[in-house]
Structure 1
Amino acid sequence: MMPRILIVDDEAPARARLTTLLSDIAAECPHELVGEAAQAQQALDRIVELSPDIVLLDVQMPGMTGIELAAHLAQNDAAGPAIIFVTAYDEYALKAFEVHAFDYLLKPVRATRLADAIRRVGALKQNAGAQKKVIAEVANTMQVTRKNFSVQERGRLLLVPVIDVLYLKAEAKYVTLRTREREYLIEGSLSALEQEFAAQFIRVHRNALVARDAIVGVERGAQIVDAESDGDKTQESWQVILRHIDDRLPISRRQWAGVKALVR
C-alpha cells in the first residue's frame, strides 16, 4: 500500500518544509502527496475530494483548530484518514489522542520519525479497526466540546458554528439545525446532542432543543386538550419566542418550569 498524504497547516513555509521532508524520505517510505490545505474548511473539502489515507495536521490554526477538525473527522467517518499531528506545541498531545490521532510529532520533525509514523499507518490500514484498538490503549475516551456542527450537503462537508444555531429539532432519523439564515440536516440523536451541549441548549419539548441565548421570551399558544385529565378539559400552552426568526416552538408541560426559570 502506498499511502496518500494531505498536508494541513495555515503557514505556507511549514507546508513547504513538510513537502521537502516527504520528498527526502520517498525512497525508503513510498507515498503519494495528494495535496495541501491552509485551514479547516479547505481541509474538509480536500478530504472529501481526495480521500487521503493520512493527514499531516497542525494544531494551532485560525478559526477551527486542528484538534476540533480531528474531532469532526472521528465523529463523521470512522474509516477516515489517519491523523498525524505535526506541531511545535507539546501540551496538546493528550487531547490529540482523545480525538483518535494516530501520532503526534513535534517540530522540527526528524525524517526517520515521520517515515516510521507513515509506515505504521500503512501496516495498520491492512487490518480494519486496528487503529482504533491501538488508540484505545493509549488514551482514555473523552468528548471534545465542538464549536461547529459538521453538515454533509451536496458532496461537501460544511461547518456550521454552534453559536449560530438557534434550535435543534428532531425530524424522523434526522435533526434540523436552524440558523438565522437557513436550515441544515444532520443525522444524530437529539438526546446525545442535549448531553453534549447542555450548557448552550435547553430542551423545550421532546423533539426540540433551543439555544439559551436565542430565547427572548415566551407567549401563549393555542388551547390544547389535557390528555392526563378526565373529560375534555383544556389547558394553556406556551411557546418560545426566538431572536432573529419568526419560528415558534411549543413548550411541553414537563419542560415549562425550566424554560420559565430561564426567561425570568
Structure 2
Amino acid sequence: MTVRLFLVDDEAPARARLRDVLSDIAAGCPHVIVGEADNAQAAMDGIVALDPDIVLLDVQMPGMNGIELAAHLGSQLAAPPAIIFISAFDDYALKAFEVRALDYLLKPVRAARLADAIARAAMRPNRQQRDAVTDAARSLQSARQHFAVQERGRLLLVPVAEVIYLKAETKYVTVRTGSAEHLIEESLLSLEEELAHRFVRVHRNALVARDAIAGVERARLAVTGQGEEERGQDTWQVILRGVEQRLPISRRQWATIKALVR
C-alpha cells in the first residue's frame, strides 16, 4: 500500500531533511508526498484539499502549534488523517501521548524509526484515527488559540486574540473580529466555560473580550421587553474597541461589567 503523506514544518531545511529520510526508506515504505506547508493555515488548506493518509507534523510553529492544529483537524474533518508528531524538543511528548497521538519522533529523525511509525499509522483503521484525533480536540479545548471556521469550501483559522465578541444566533455563534464576522456551530455556554479568562458574558446571548471593553453607555429601550428589561426603562450597553456596534448589558451582568470599566 502506498501511503499519502503531508509534511508540516515552518523550517524549509527541516522539510528537506525529512524528504531525504523518506527517500531512503521508499523501498520498504511506499509513499507519495502529496503536499507541504510551513504554517497552520496553509496546512489546514492543503490537508482539506489533498486528503492525505498521514500528516508528519512539527509541534512548535509560529501562530499555532502542531498539537492545536491536530485538534482542529480532528474536530472539523469527518475522517482526519493520522498524525505523527516530529519535534526537536521532548517537552510536548507527554502532552502528545495524552491526546493519543499515533507517534512522537525527535529530530533528527532516524530512518528506521520513521518507517516503523508510518507503517503502524497506515495499518490503523480510519475510525480509530478519527476517534484518536477527535479525543485530542476535546481534551485540548482549554488550550485553544484559534477558532476553525468553515467558509466557502475551506477551513479558516481565526485567532481567538482577534475576536471582539461571540454572539449566539438561532443555530450558530457569530465570531466577530474587527474586520469580519464568521459563524461556528458551538455552544455559547461551552465557549464561556472554556474561554472565561478572555471573555465575559454581557447578556444571555453574548460574550465580549475583556480587553475589548472600552466603556459603557446608557440607552433607553423603545419596545416592550419579554425578559429582563421593560419598555421605557433605562438600560446599559457596552462600548467595544474595533466595532461601532453596541451590545446590551443584562441586569444580572451589570455589576460585573461595571467593575471591569472602573
TM-score between both structures, scaled by the size of structure 2 = 0.89
Residue in 1 that maps onto 2:255: 257
- Kindly tell me: are residues 2 and 228 of structure 1, through their superposed partners in 2, closer, same or farther at Cα, counting changes over 3 Å? closer
Unaligned runs of 5+ in 1: none
- Kindly tell me: are residues 187 and 227 of structure 1, through their superposed partners in 2, closer, same or farther at Cα, counting changes over 3 Å? closer
Aligned-residue offset at 1:184: 1.1
Q: 1:154 aligns with which of 152, 155, 174?
A: 152
- Kindly tell me: are residues 74 and 261 of structure 1, through their superposed partners in 2, closer, same or farther at Cα, counting changes over 3 Å? same
Q: Distance in 2 between matches of 1:21 and 1:234?
A: 73
Number of residues paired by the alignment?
Answer: 259
Q: Distance in 1 between matches of 2:194 and 2:70?
A: 17
Aligned-residue offset at 1:172: 1.5
Q: Which amino acid aligns with 1:177?
A: V
- Kindly tell me: are residues 199 and 238 of structure 1, through their superposed partners in 2, closer, same or farther at Cα, counting changes over 3 Å? same
- 8 Å CA contact retained: 2:73, 2:80: yes
**Do residues 129 (structure 1) and 128 (structure 2) align?**
yes
Aligned-residue offset at 1:34: 0.6
What is the SS of the residue equivalent to 2:29?
coil
Residue in 2 that maps onto 1:205: 203
Residue in 2 that maps onto 1:244: 242
CA RMSD of aligned residues (A): 2.5
Aligned-residue offset at 1:144: 4.2
Residue in 1 that maps onto 2:39: 39
Aligned-residue offset at 1:134: 10
Deviation track 1:82-141 (CA, whole Å, cap 9, x = no partner) reads 111111101111222344422100112122211111111121125x236636997x9x94
TM-score between both structures, scaled by the size of structure 1 = 0.89
Deviation track 1:193-248 (CA, whole Å, cap 9, x = no partner) reads 1111101000111111001111111112223657689xx88532211111121101
Q: Distance in 1 between matches of 2:67 and 2:133?
A: 19
What is the SS of the residue equivalent to 1:96?
helix
Q: Distance in 1 between matches of 2:132 and 2:44?
A: 25
- 8 Å CA contact retained: 1:165, 1:177: yes
What is the SS of the residue equivalent to 1:89?
coil
- 8 Å CA contact retained: 1:165, 1:180: yes
Q: Distance in 2 between matches of 1:239 and 1:99?
A: 41
Q: Which amino acid aligns with 1:22?
A: L
- Kindly tell me: are residues 78 and 92 of structure 1, through their superposed partners in 2, closer, same or farther at Cα, counting changes over 3 Å? farther
Residue in 1 that maps onto 2:75: 75
Q: 2:181 aligns with which of 183, 206, 209?
A: 183
**Do residues 91 (structure 1) and 95 (structure 2) align?**
no
Residue in 2 that maps onto 1:111: 111
Q: Distance in 2 between matches of 1:171 and 1:83?
A: 34
